């Protein structure tokens, strides 16, 4: 029996995503904490594990330390064994055509030798930046049935949002399951169709090599959506769209990231991490060793996810607290996401706030503005900050990491950015 896997998976995990500003100052988006204990890349890794795809390469470039530390040796996703494993492939310099990755397509092109060494039947390329639960085997099976050169997973989005994505026109060859891609446009100003690419690409290796080689030789940009797929359409290659119907969290902006976290809450959450079988590395940040949640006598916790290692003595409403968060007596945290080791001082008030790791908020600090949650923008606080007692901070503010207290000893008005 041949146990060697037929599919090689590659995760694109190197990007920063400027729209997430201070959350990606020191980590790629794929390593941004999510949901109270996990990282965004855990979704694609867990999908791969559950699909049975356990030969995985992770293409990482921007400030990779946090990501490398989180992945470890891949044990959290059971990717250990003779034909299993996680390989992290950063850019390198040396003999041949090597340099920093110039785009998603170039990142794969620079690692063609890795693909050829494993000699897969197909190459599955996925983004490490999205929140979703997908059985990739369904995409692979559809790809094989159609003998496609490329099969891409797509989700139907509102037409007025389609300009933000690469979008495909897919025929009804196989009804709700999928069909031939008739047209593809990358972020069109006036989209006429609305099947958005989820950056889940299943390629025939030979075709992938051909497309990447021509792209490297002839083009000035090196992206799958902007360059590779349009070239394949121009050459009339067999490109199929697999129609995905489940939840997909894009999380490219701060508001989207906040909303995707909030989709974990409520009586009927849109994201059920237990049903999805999300795995994470519990040794990273010693999550496994955290003490049980401690709740004070006068504490109130409502519609929130509060994990081991937290101490709650005040009120927490519709919020997510990562291990190490401490909400002191009289404090109220509402509609917020607090990363690891945040401290909220006595009688402080937080509304629609995202705090990166190691932030201490002093006593009687007010962040955000009261009122309907839909009317407020998120305030984001970068890591390693100390907010002095009594500071007033409005909504839609951005505080960069590691600010000196002299920059914070005043009122910070709504919409202000402090660097």
Q: Mean pLDDT of all residues in the chain?
A: 94
Whether the CA torsion 225, 231, 234, 240 is positive or negative: it is negative
Q: Which two tokens stand for residue 192?
A: 């006429």
Cα torsion 308, 312, 316, 320 to 10°: value is -20
**Confidence at 3, pLDDT banded by 50, 70, 90:** low
Q: What percent of the chain clears pLDDT 90, i.e. is strictly above it?
A: 84
Q: pTM of the entire structure?
A: 0.95
Q: Which two tokens stand for residue 283?
A: 């040794």
**What is the number of domains present in the chain?**
2
The answer to whether residue 2 sits within a structural domain is: no
Full domain range(s) for residue 403: 290-418
One domain, residues 252 and 304: no
CA distances from 346 to 360, 367, 394 (A): 11, 13, 19
Specify whether the CB–CB gap between 409 and 389 falls below 8 A: no
User: What is the domain-level CATH number for residue 353?
Assistant: 2.160.10.10
pLDDT value of position 96: 55
Give which of 374, 341, 345, 372 is closest to 355, Cα–Cα: 341
* 188-221 per-position pLDDT tens digit: 999 999 999 999 999 999 999 999 999 999 999 9
Classify 152 as helix, strand or coil.
strand
pLDDT at 352: 97
In a domain, 346, yes or no: yes
Q: Are 350 and 392 in contact (CB under 8 A)?
A: no
* 229 and 93 in a common domain: yes
Which tens digit of pLDDT belongs to each residue from 212-250? 999 999 999 999 999 999 999 999 999 999 999 999 998
CA 54 to chain CA mean position, Å: 20
Q: How confident is the model at residue 97 (pLDDT cuts 50, 70, 90)?
A: low
| Number of Cβ within a 10 Å radius of residue 221 | 11
Residue 349 pLDDT more than 60? yes
Q: Are residues 243 and 378 in the same domain?
A: no
Residues 245 and 294 in one domain: no
Q: Which of 244, 262, 280 is the last residue of a domain?
A: 262
| Confidence category of residue 18, pLDDT binned at 50, 70, 90 | confident
In a shared domain, residues 235 and 305 = no
Q: What is the pLDDT of residue 99?
A: 67
Q: Considering only CA atoms, which of 377, 381, 328, 372 is closest in space to residue 354?
A: 381
- Residue 282, domain member (yes or no): no
- 61-75, 263-277, 286-300, 395-409: range with lowest mean pLDDT: 61-75
CA–CA–CA angle 313, 317, 320 (5° rounding):
90
* DSSP 8-class letter at 141: H
Element (H, E) at 289: none
Regarding whether 235 and 101 lie in a shared domain, the answer is: yes
Higher pLDDT, 267 or 2: 267
pLDDT tens digits, residue range 143-184? 999 999 999 999 999 999 999 999 999 999 999 999 999 999
Domain edge (last residue) among 243, 262, 281: 262
Banded pLDDT at 110 (limits 50, 70, 90): very high
Residue 276 in any domain: the answer is no
Helices within 40-111 (DSSP H only): 41-51, 65-71, 104-109
pLDDT of residue 100: 78
Q: How many angstroms separate the CA atoms of 150 and 210, rounded?
A: 12
The DSSP H or E segment spanning 241 is: strand 239-244
In the block, residue with structure tokens 């492939």: 89
Residue 1 has pLDDT above 50, yes or no: no
Q: What is the CATH number of the domain that holds 142?
A: 3.90.550.10
Tens-digit pLDDT profile for residues 264-315:
999 999 999 999 999 999 998 889 999 999 999 999 999 999 999 999 999 9
């Amino acid at each position: 029996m041949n146990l060697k896997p037929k599919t090689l998976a590659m995760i694109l995990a190197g990007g920063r995503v400027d729209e997430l500003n201070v959350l990606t100052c020191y980590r790629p988006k794929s390593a941004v904490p999510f949901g109270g204990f996990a990282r965004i890349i855990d979704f694609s890794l867990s999908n791969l594990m559950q699909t049975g795809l356990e030969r995985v390469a992770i293409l990482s470039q921007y400030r990779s330390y946090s990501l490398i530390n989180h992945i470890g040796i891949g044990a959290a996703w059971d990717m250990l064994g003779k034909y299993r494993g996680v390989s992290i492939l950063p850019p390198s310099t040396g003999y041949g055509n090597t340099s920093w990755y110039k785009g998603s397509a170039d990142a794969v092109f620079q690692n063609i030798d890795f693909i050829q060494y494993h000699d897969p039947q197909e190459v599955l390329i996925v983004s490490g930046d999205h929140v979703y639960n997908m059985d990739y085997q369904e995409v692979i099976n559809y790809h094989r049935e159609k003998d496609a050169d490329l099969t891409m997973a797509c989700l139907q989005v509102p037409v007025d949002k389609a300009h933000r994505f690469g979008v495909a026109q897919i025929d009804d060859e196989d009804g709700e399951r999928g069909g031939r891609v008739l047209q593809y446009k990358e972020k069109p100003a006036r989209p006429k169709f609305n099947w958005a690419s989820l950056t889940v690409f299943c390629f025939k290796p030979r075709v992938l090599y051909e497309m990447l080689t021509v792209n490297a030789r002839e083009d000035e940009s090196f992206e799958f959506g902007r360059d590779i797929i349009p070239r394949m359409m121009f050459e009339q290659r067999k490109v199929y769209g697999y129609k995905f119907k489940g939840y997909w969290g894009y999380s490219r902006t701060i508001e989207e990231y906040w909303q995707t976290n909030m989709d974990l809450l409520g009586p009927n959450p849109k994201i059920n991490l237990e049903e999805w079988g999300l795995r994470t590395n519990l040794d990273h940040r010693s999550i496994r060793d955290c003490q049980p949640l401690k709740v004070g006598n006068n504490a109130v916790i409502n519609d929130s996810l509060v994990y081991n290692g937290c101490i709650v003595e005040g009120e927490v409403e519709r919020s997510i607290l990562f291990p190490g968060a401490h909400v002191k007596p009289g404090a109220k945290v509402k509609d917020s996401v607090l990363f690891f080791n945040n401290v909220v001082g006595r009688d402080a008030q937080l509304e629609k706030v995202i705090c990166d790791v190691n932030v201490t908020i002093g006593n009687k600090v007010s962040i955000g503005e009261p009122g309907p949650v839909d009317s407020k923008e998120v305030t984001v606080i970068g890591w390693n900050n100390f907010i002095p007692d009594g500071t007033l901070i409005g909504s839609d503010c951005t505080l960069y990491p590691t600010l000196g207290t002299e920059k914070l000893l005043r009122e910070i008005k709504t919409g202000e950015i402090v660097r």
